[in-house]
Chain A
Amino acid sequence: MKNLENLVLRIWRQSGPDDPGRFQSYRIDSISDEASFLEMLDVLNEKLIGEGLEAIAFDHDCREGICGTCSLMIDGQPHGPQRGTATCQLHMRKFSSGETITVEPWRATAFPIIKDLIVDRAPFDRIVEAGGFITATTGGAPEANLTPVPKPVAEAAMDAAACIGCGACVAACPNGAASLFTAAKVSHLNLLPQGQAERWSRVEAMVETMEQYFGSCTNHGECEAACPKSISIDFIALMNKDYLSAKLKNRALISRT
């Protein structure tokens, strides 16, 4: 274990949604390289509170990369320079002494800034709501092996279901599109036999809700690189394919594939 010395943090401060906001620089004299990025912010906040200043507001919850609450644009990359992890899994050993680290909130019209580094990601909830329910038998829990799911299907559905809804895909996208999030949420049900009953109505409703809030995919691929779960843009192609089917096919034939 060693310490990083003399870090400068340029952090976006904004007192509320209507404040124009600005970058403010803070000095960290010394921090353990084993500290996570969020722990480093905790240390900075303790210091600010001790000096009678206002703490920096940032989102965090589980701190083990599974809840999707943390965010932060760190040096121009969502969740910072480490691939396939959320900000809470980023450690200070990824940085070096004397470095200046710039921290900014996600920027998207659909994600208005609430305060400092916290944004409102509610449009993601609107997309998920639009997906509705799945048709399932009620009553006692059915035998788990009643519906056979081929192994590759189960794996692909699980890859999509790994989405934690953090919004890094939107933050990374030069177009502010939410295609990777929506594709992951559509696909984890649309791939499985249990999700077939609403396959076309689901994709249609979710894509059209997404388009009310977000930009459009032009296949840069930045979302996949930024995703803390490394979800593939192959799911976006799958969503586009199902959306096209939803528009063209006779829904009375959904059971005949």
Chain B
Amino acid sequence: MPILPRTVALWLMRLGLIAAVGVHIHAAYGLTILNHNARSVKYQSPRDYQVANFASRTMRWTGVIVVLFLFWHLADLTWGWWNGTGNDGVFVRGDVYGNVVRSFERVPVATLYIVANIALGFHLFHGTWSLFQSMGWNNPRFNKWRRYLAVGIATIVVVGNVSFPIAVLAGIVGE
């Protein structure tokens, strides 16, 4: 006898994640509007940025890429909005392993997954480092480790996620 009825724990986690996505988008939207209004007339000559990096400058775009990917990812592997026919192109509810393999065997799908996860990696890199500044977790004892931690977390997530489509495409994981 399970402790919780079927899908209860799953839905509790899903509700938590949906709430987090909602708060994240609300905060990003608010920040974008605030910062856009703070410089209503832009510089009329090119800026020469000194330390702002690719990750920090593209947070909005990597964020939009990740949220679009998120909906596509749900449609692909949770809702199963597949229009394929025949044995290879069929989404089977509950057959998680098979669905992943059949989805990633399509090269455009695997490519999209890899590109979106690289965007996620840049987003996480700047987000992790920013977390320390925004929360005021600043101490000369560990300050230099914040960038390493940001690189480490982004790398673990990207390498881990990208390994799935690569493993399927390389034939390491298959039916």
The interface of chain A, by Cβ under 8 A from chain B, is 10, 12, 21, 23, 73, 75-77, 81, 102, 104, 107-110, 174-177, 211, 213-222, 224-226, 233-234, 236-244
Contact = CB atoms under 8 A, between A and B. Distances in A.
Contacts of B59: 218
Given A108-B39, A177-B38, A215-B38, A225 B51 contact: yes
A82 B48 CA distance: 12
B42 interface: yes
A10 B45 contact: yes
B155 interface: no
Contacts of A104: 43-45
A226 B50 CA distance: 8
A107 B130 contact: no
A230 B129 CA distance: 20
Contacts of B160: none
Q: In the complex, which of the residues B39, B133, B135 has the most CB atoms of chain A within 10 Å of its own CB atom?
A: B39
A176 B38 contact: yes
A102 B56 contact: no
Contacts of B31: 216, 218
Contacts of A219: 56, 126, 129-130, 133-134
A215 B40 CA distance: 11
B56 A220 contact: yes
Q: In the complex, which of the residues B42, B51, B132 has the most CB atoms of chain A within 10 Å of its own CB atom?
A: B51
Given A73-B43, A237-B136, A218 B49 contact: no
A218 B38 CA distance: 13
B34 interface: yes
A236 B48 CA distance: 23
Interface string B30-61: 01001101111111111111111000110100
B38 A108 contact: yes
B138 interface: yes
A244 B135 contact: yes
A234 B138 contact: yes
Q: Which 7 A-B pairs have the closest CB atoms?
A: A241-B136, A215-B38, A176-B38, A76-B48, A237-B138, A175-B35, A225-B50
Given A215-B35, A225-B50, A238 B138 contact: yes
B34 to A, nearest CB: 5
